Structure 1
Amino acid sequence: MRGYLANTDPDWFDFLAQRDDEEVNFWTPSARPFSALAEGEPLLFRLKAPRNKVGGFGIFQRYTELPGWLAWQTFGPANGAPSFDAMQARLGEIRRRNAIGGPTVIGCRLLAGPVFLPEEAWVPLPSDWRPQIVSGKGYDLSHGEGATLWRRVLEATMALRPALAAEGQPPRYGPAIPIRPRLGQAGFRVAVLDAYGRQCAVTTEHSLPVLEAAHIRPYAEGGNHQVSNGLLLRSDVHKLFDLGYVTVDPDHRFVVSQRLHNDYANGRTYYALHGQQLHLPPDPGQRPSTDALRWHRDARYLG
């Protein structure tokens, strides 16, 4: 298993250390592809000078690229800022300092189960770390400096938060193995957005401001945050889906209830889409769950 020791903004770290988020967005001021980690591997927080320590870690879920406004809409304060204006100000400052032009699209590294260690528990940097490193450095966590670093971070974590460490972290002195993180609400939204190619499954609308990740079976009613329990829908279609005026049949065709016309004497726009095949993710494992769709037809659809 690999880990990635990333240079970490002190304001981002200090703000999130006061919170208890299940997911956070470790963002970069420009969209640069990130392939240093696979899902379930740790990104460790290297605190910049004068601290020069390792302050914690988070489990990497996925990388995506989002406009700044959508990153805020998705993660809110879990972006490491108290408000959208504060995030925008910080982003603008970094982009100006580094002469970054073009559209404000940021790189988003989604981290689950973040651990922010208090100062007295910070871990020394590996002996091979160099101040000239700009973004970060990858480590093999199974031997050498990487293994020592990971062991120290886990020991610090377990000493402070034994219950958290016992729930999913690797054994204290055992082999380093990836941890499969559970998607939360923010991770669900991003995963569904990317799985569907950023287009509505029904209308193929591509305008990001009106696209929403819909739960087929709501989380509050026994659903989960898996992509297979989701559909990417235009906001108006999403509302109709949640209210039961539309559903999806076993063959993944869009179905519109007669109740829409009966209740509102309208709906022509949607009846024109009745029977249309959904545009689904290319990965079969990300397509709508048969059980979730059956639940929606039985428990929510108005018929």
Structure 2
Amino acid sequence: MRAYVGVTDHEWFSLLRTIPELDEVNFWQPGGNQVFRALKPKELFLFKLKYPINKIVGGGFFASSNILPVSLAWDSFGIKNGANSVLEMRKIIGKLKTKKENFPSDYDIGCILLEQPFFLPENEWIPVPSDWSPSIQQGKGYDLSVDPGLSLWKRLHVSTLLASISQEKEIPLGVQEEQARYGEPTTIMPRLGQGSFRILVTEAYERRCAVTNERTLPALDAAHIKPYIDSGLHVVSNGILLRRDLHALFDKGYVTITPSLKFEVSHRIKEEFENGRDYYRLQGTEIRLPINPVDQPSQEYIKWHNDFRYLD
């Protein structure tokens, strides 16, 4: 297992640590031309505050890295971007970008999506590893099975346990403890938050509506096949990218996906609204699927939508 120690802005950290029951954060980078590839999903991303503090103060579990428009990052994560408003976020990014662009433009930024973030109490902040250089601008990766990464793991493990006790609640690290007190760390997949679910579904469908192929990003929504409120999970196989009007109809049961992965429109639209010609034209359309089979709609969730939501 690897970890990445990322140089972290103090204001970003200070705001996010005050949010109760935080399930995800977007660790964004102002440059929008390079995808973060230092970690695999479920590995640790640690927050290291800038000089003069120079301490590791928390972290989260890596889910995905994407290049996204600022607007989509804000719509998906809101204050979990570490800013109080989209205007504030744009101002911060604008100051950090090396290439100055017109302020109103919806420029791209690098987004590192982290699940189950945790923040250590100040008396448990961890010194940087022994090989850390002051010249590091963004961060550095470590193998947690050998030093200096192993020493970092030991310190982090102990500090996190102490933080858990002091807060009288379990910090959901997603780290499975070995029989040996400081065994080689292993992980379980952290739960996705709503924002990460939206981004991962959007990317899995290549930013196109699964029914119409529409590519206008503000007009697209990541829909749950089985809603979260009905015990559906934030997993890509429980999602589908739809045009917003189709998403609304899907949630209300006026349209569905068949087990053969075709779009089906209920007769109830015509009966109730004496309209729907544009939607009936889509009847029988084959759903455009993600390339990765793991991300394709689950038959279990499709059956649930057919049985419990669709207005047949």
Shorter-chain TM-score bucket reads over 0.9
C-alpha offsets along residues 130-157 of structure 1, whole Å, 9 cap, x if unaligned?
1101111111111111111121112111
CA contact (8 A) 1:41 1:179 kept: no
* TM-score, length basis structure 1: 0.96
C-alpha offsets along residues 251-287 of structure 1, whole Å, 9 cap, x if unaligned?
1111111110111111111111101101011111111
Moved over 4 A (4+): 100-103
Q: In structure 2, how many angstroms separate the alpha carbons of the residues matched to 1:29 and 1:167?
A: 27
CA contact (8 A) 2:116 2:172 kept: no
Structure 1: give runs of 5+ residues left out of the alignment. Answer: none
Q: In structure 2, how many angstroms separate the alpha carbons of the residues matched to 1:166 and 1:134?
A: 29
Q: In structure 1, how many angstroms separate the alpha carbons of the residues matched to 2:57 and 2:100?
A: 28
Bigger share in helix: 1
For residues 1-303 of structure 1, the aligned pairs below 5 Å read 1-20=1-20, 21-31=22-32, 32-95=34-97, 98-99=98-99, 101=101, 104-162=107-165, 163-165=169-171, 168-171=174-177, 172-303=181-312
C-alpha offsets along residues 123-182 of structure 1, whole Å, 9 cap, x if unaligned?
011111011011111111111111111211121111011453576324251112233111
- SS of corresponding position for 2:112: strand
Structure 2: give runs of 5+ residues left out of the alignment. Answer: none
- SS of corresponding position for 2:60: strand
Q: In structure 2, how many angstroms separate the alpha carbons of the residues matched to 1:247 and 1:157?
A: 45
Distance change >3 Å, CA 147–CA 28, structure 1 → 2:
same
Q: In structure 2, how many angstroms separate the alpha carbons of the residues matched to 1:53 and 1:27?
A: 20
1:164 counterpart letter in structure 2:
E
Q: In structure 1, how many angstroms separate the alpha carbons of the residues matched to 2:172 and 2:295?
A: 30
Distance change >3 Å, CA 166–CA 267, structure 1 → 2:
closer
2:52 counterpart letter in structure 1:
P
Q: Name the stretch that deviates more: 156-165 or 218-227.
A: 156-165
Q: In structure 2, how many angstroms separate the alpha carbons of the residues matched to 1:207 and 1:164?
A: 42
2:15 counterpart letter in structure 1:
F
Q: In structure 1, how many angstroms separate the alpha carbons of the residues matched to 2:231 and 2:187?
A: 27
CA contact (8 A) 1:39 1:178 kept: no
Q: Size of the alignment, in residue pairs?
A: 301
Aligned-pair identity (%): 47
Q: In structure 2, how many angstroms separate the alpha carbons of the residues matched to 1:178 and 1:64?
A: 22
Q: In structure 2, how many angstroms separate the alpha carbons of the residues matched to 1:129 and 1:222?
A: 44
2:29 counterpart letter in structure 1:
T
